[in-house]
Amino acid sequence: MRAGPSVADAAVTVGPYVVAKLRALDERLAVAAARVLADDDAEAVHDLRVALRRIRTVLEVGRSILGGYYADEVRRSLRNVMRATGALRDEEVLRELLGSVGPHDPSIDAWRAARARRERRLRGQLRGMVRSGQVEAGRRLLAAMLVFPIRRTRDRPLPKFARRAIDDALRQVESRRATRIDDVEGLHDLRIAYKRLRYTVEAFADALPAELAGLGQAASRFQGRLGDLHDADVAIECASRARSLDEAKRSALVVALKRTRAKRAAAYEQELSAASIAPSRVAAVGRSSHPSSVAKHPHAHAGTDSLRKSSTR
């Protein structure tokens, strides 16, 4: 005898699921925000950024259920903190990259020290935002939104909604997969698309068949490779604008960073070439609610496996 409906049952709707998911993410956000104020927590900013990103993704995907106006207001309330974490992360990555490449020179070291001071300033600003209640303000708006009952006219069966959300995210990835390796802006957009796919899959993993739930790992790996490329591109742009360096030293630093980018680009392309099936073919599996649909698409499992081999974080 069954204890109750599972999230894969058609009778289960997405409204209560999304509300429960957002409440759990809100708790993680509160913990991460408190950790940012500690001096010895190296992962706090990263965890705060991830918590914010997950909440914003669920709000975006679920806006038709929650109400677009309210979901957008909560997203806007957290936007400034999200941007602050992004600016700080860019400086952290720049520091790590500059420490791994040459040439070492007193003037370049002085520029590194200036960037380190900017990183400390950005960290202080983020902590100030947390202390002043900007995270709490967003959390209060989120809590207020979740108090309202989901309208029955908006609610949808959870399995069908989850598959459509994954399908939409996959189409965004597929439309950008042909981006050239030298297209910095295009690769950034592709990374964002993989990021959305990853967090959408993770948010609805309980309601997805295994062949779709596994896409989260694939999207994570591709996101990571593209993230490495993005970090190198940001560092190259910063070094190119370093007016405190003379032209020769600035050029030498940019050349060293471009060598790092070339290695990362090769690693990304190697994983990309290992993929033997386009994401849209995996999406076709998710559009059918019958388990036998996998049998109708004999490459479905192989496609998911190949995506896992060629993806990023």
* Mean pLDDT, rounded, for 79-96: 93
User: What pLDDT digit, counting tens, does each position of 28-70 carry?
Assistant: 999 999 999 987 788 899 999 999 999 999 999 999 999 999 9
pLDDT in tens, 198-247: 999 999 998 888 888 888 988 999 999 999 999 999 999 999 999 888 89
Phi, psi for 178 (deg, rounded to 5): -85, 10
Please list the residues that pair with 222 across neighbouring strands: 312
Where are the CATH 1.20.120 domain residues in the chain?
13-156
**Long-range contacts at 131-138 (CB < 8 A, ≥ 24 apart):** 131/37, 134/80, 134/81, 135/29, 135/30, 135/33, 135/78, 135/81, 136/33, 137/77, 138/74, 138/77, 138/78, 138/81
Higher-confidence position of 85 and 213 = 85
Indicate the angle between helix axes 215-240 and 300-309, nearest 10 degrees: 30
Query: Quick one: pLDDT at residue 174?
Result: 93
Question: Collapsing DSSP states into helix, strand and coil, what is residue 157?
Answer: strand
For residue 106, is the peptide bond before it cis, meaning its omega torsion is within 30 degrees of 0? no
Among 69, 25, 29, 19, CA closest to 49: 29
- The pLDDT of residue 281 is 43
The reported pTM is 0.81
Which ranges in 132-246 belong to alpha helices (H)?
134-147, 158-174, 184-203, 210-213, 215-240
Provide the percentage of residues in the chain whose pLDDT is more than 70.
84
13-156 CATH pick, 1.10.3470, 1.20.120, 1.20.1740, 1.10.10: 1.20.120
